[in-house]
Amino acid sequence: MLPAKLTLALNDQFNNELQAAHAYTAMAAYFSKKGYHGFANFYLVQSQEEHQHAMKFYHYLAAMDEKPVLQALNEPKNHFERALDVLESSLAQEKDVTSNIYALVTLAGELQEHATLSFLDWFIEEQTEEEKTFRDLITRMKQIEEGGEYFLKMDDEFAERKL
């Protein structure tokens, strides 16, 4: 069993990951509506990844003899002006997740919960990768026009992405 404060924080992150999956599905819908099915696919895969991250927290809590507790999801942002806005929202979301993971690491360290620290190592690496991905995509997107030739090449590239 884990300290109550840590269990609560892990459950909050379990739900934060589900919220991120929810938000990425809304971002996919932006691209689907515009006919950019590759970008939509990219975001649907992102949503699936976030759900998998949530399930890692679920299984960890269960393995530690704690109950995973589902909370209500908030309505995600459903309206974007342009593709760059979606990417910038994605990066901001990933930065929030990173901040939450760091806070969990700090708490687990203070409580000397070494198993939890070990569990969270994977998330630190994952967040580094996720933030880099979105920073790189924003850099690319700032150089091109939405709907232009290179944008459509990116759309084709993203259509191939799988979980």
Which residue positions form the known binding site for Fe cation?
A: 17, 50, 53, 94, 127
Q: How far apart are CA 88 and CA 24, in angstroms?
A: 12
The residue length of the chain stands at: 163
94, 162 Cβ separation under 8 angstroms: no
Q: How far is CA 61 from CA 54, 74, 113, 144, 148, in A?
A: 11, 23, 13, 44, 46
Q: How far apart are CA 41 and CA 98, in angstroms?
A: 24
Helix (H, G, I), strand (E, B) or coil at 6: helix
Radius of gyration of the chain (CA): 17
76, 26 Cβ separation under 8 angstroms: yes
- Residues placed in the known binding site: 17, 50, 53, 94, 127
